[in-house]
Amino acid sequence: MTDDARGSTPLVDEAMKKAAVAWVSVAGGPALALWCAPLEGALLVVTGPGEQAAPGLADATEAQVTLRGDHGGRIVTWPARVSRVQPGTEAWDTTAPLVAAKRLNAPGPTADLVTRWAADGCAVNRLTPAGTPLAGADLSADAQAEPPRATPAIRATRKPFRLHRVRRR
């Protein structure tokens, strides 16, 4: 049973209420694990300088969201409509402090965090259900594991540790 006003289902609503992390994919890119806060039938994700990186999310209009259950497995994947909450608006004044209060390990008071988000150009993105979700047997059976991404980081090779000197004959 779908709620036509929001494009949501009871499963999506319940999964969002319990969500602390969502896997979000933008424009067919890799799904990124992002900290999120549920609020009023949507997930709010903060991205930008000093916050989590989600390339393309702030400028996107659509995304794919996957939520996992208490057991760690996928329970639902749904298309989302992405909108940005703009600083200086009434929506920002009510939403940003609520999201900032749920931010773990935030540096400083909530009001300072909201001010920094606005000054640094951070994006508070609202992900709202906007289509038919996939759940249960409709979800793909593959693990959705992706190969490691290329990185310039390397691991230094060390010489083996020797406790004593080895004599040669």
**Which range marks the domain in which residue 69 is found?**
10-129
Total domains present in the chain: 1
Lowest mean pLDDT among 7-11, 76-80, 100-104, 137-141: 137-141
Q: Is the pTM of this model over 0.85?
A: no
* Rounded Cα distance, 161 and 90, in Å: 63
Residue 151 lies in a domain: no
What is the phi/psi pair of residue 81, to 5°? -90, 125
Q: What pLDDT is recorded for position 138? A: 67
Residue 154 lies in a domain: no
Residue 168 lies in a domain: no
Residue 14 lies in a domain: yes
* Rounded Cα distance, 52 and 18, in Å: 20
Residue 155 lies in a domain: no
When the pLDDT of each residue in the chain is averaged and rounded to a whole number, the result is 84
Residue 115 lies in a domain: yes
Residue 63 lies in a domain: yes
CATH classification of the domain holding 119: 2.30.110.10
* Rounded Cα distance, 140 and 134, in Å: 9
Q: Read off the pLDDT of each residue in 48-69 and give the average, rounded to a whole number.
A: 90
What is the phi/psi pair of residue 82, to 5°? -105, 130
Q: Read off the pLDDT of each residue in 108-131 and give the average, rounded to a whole number.
A: 91
Using CB atoms within 10 Å of the CB of residue 90, give its burial: 0 to 12 exposed, 13 to 18 middle, 19+ buried.
exposed
pLDDT digits (tens, 9 = 90+) for 83-106: 999 999 999 999 999 999 988 888
pLDDT digits (tens, 9 = 90+) for 2-42: 444 445 788 888 888 888 899 999 988 888 999 999 998 89
